[in-house]
Structure 1
Amino acid sequence: MANSPNSPALPDLIARCLRNERRGQELLYRQFYGYAMSVCMRYTHSREEALEVLNDGFLKVFTRLDGYDINQPFKGWLRRILINTAVDHYRASVRHQHEDMGEAGHVSTDMADAYSQLAHEELIALIQQLSPAYRLVFNLYVIDGFSHDEIAGQLGISVGASKSNLARARENLRAMIQKKGNDEYARATR
């Protein structure tokens, strides 16, 4: 959300949050809610789960705001906290589900043509249908630009598992896109 004439400037909001002013925290939350939710939605399966990650992320923001460098873009700092919170959320759920992240697979290439035909919301909906492990690696690598070494370090998996999960995520997305195309063609020809 862009600054409205009635909303305070970002440095003022940050100063108010550093003084633990609830109203300042609320305004900062509202100002960045849409952006933050879009980041969280990429890493979660549902809107409710995204909201949980978002709220946990903002709690970290408010408790770590004194470590923010005012000379750096706030959105980048916020995004990094939200991604790390989503990764933490994933790790906690994996501990409970004991999900196997697999080692085998082969890397797929060039899905740009298929992706370009989908609306952003449709693509996010398809990504949300991936298993948590595949969704997390796909987002970290493809959307947020992390390397496989960085992903492996963050998730406590091997580089090979990161590559495998990315390949499987791409294969699953390709299959979902193809099925979606076939379903739409079938409806159109009826």
Structure 2
Amino acid sequence: MEYRQPAYEDTLLVAGCKRNDRVAQERLYRKYFELAYRICNRYTPQQNDTLAVVNEGFLKIFRHIAEWEPEKGQLGAWIRRILINTALDHIRSLHRSVAHSPLETAVHLQLNEEALDRITADELLKLVRSLPPVMQAVFNLYEVEGYSHKEIAGLMCITESTSRWHLTAAKKKLRNLFREGQSVVSG
């Protein structure tokens, strides 16, 4: 991985945040709020929870800003990782124990292009949000964020086979929800 110099603005914002400068903290919050909201919105089962998770994430960012190492990656990537972990912590707090049997084979979500043309991003988000929180998190981590099952297992404190099970179940449920929605729309 090639080292890239952090943006000058980010360097100044981080320096200010390390000094607990409220203006720098507000600027950092405003600069990364949209990214934070989009990330947390994908993981929270209720839209009402999104802002709470965003704010909890920013509290962690401000508390740990001195730990950011520019040579290990861009500030936005570091913030993104904290926000994803905060959203996962939120999901874990909602569902402390989930027991499922693993399925070893993943079923791919197969929708034809014409069907995808008829669904909006908001409708798709509503379908994903209707999934149980752990299933929703695994789906987002794997399909949206690009994490492997091994990485998901480490992040969520589950086994790789449980991660695969949740992904399979999420895709099956989404297919069924989509079909139900299509029959309601066309019927």
TM-score band (shorter)?
Answer: 0.7 to 0.9
CA drift of 1:151 comes to 1.3
* Alignment TM-score, normalising by the size of structure 1: 0.84
Q: What is the number of equivalent residue pairs in this alignment? A: 177
Matched, 1:111 2:107: no
Using the size of structure 2 for normalisation, the TM-score is 0.85
2:62 counterpart of 1:62: yes
> What pairs up with 1:116-135 in 2 under 5 angstroms?
116-117=116-117, 118-135=119-136
CA contact (8 A) 1:102 1:165 kept: no
Shift of 1:110: 4.4
Identity in percent: 34
Report 1:128-147 matches (<5 A): 128-147=129-148
Cα distance in 2 for partners of 1:16, 1:101 equals 47
Residue number in structure 2 paired with 1:10: 10
Superposition map of 1:47-58 within 5 A: 47-58=47-58
Give structure 2 stretches of 5+ with no counterpart.
1-7
- After superposition, give the CA deviation of every residue in 1:11-61 in whole Å (9 maximum; x if it has no partner): 222221111011211121112111100000100112221112111111111
Q: Tell me whether 1:100 sits opposite 2:99 in the alignment.
A: yes
- Aligned residue in 1 for 2:86: 85
- TM-superposed deviation, 1:99: 3.5
In 2 relative to 1, CA 113–67 (structure 1 residues): closer, same or farther, beyond 3 Å? farther
Unaligned runs of 5+ in 1: 1-7
Distance 1:104 1:153 in 2: 18
Alpha carbon RMSD of aligned pairs, Å? 2.0
CA shift digits 1:130-170 (9 cap, x unpaired): 00111011011111111111111222222111111100000
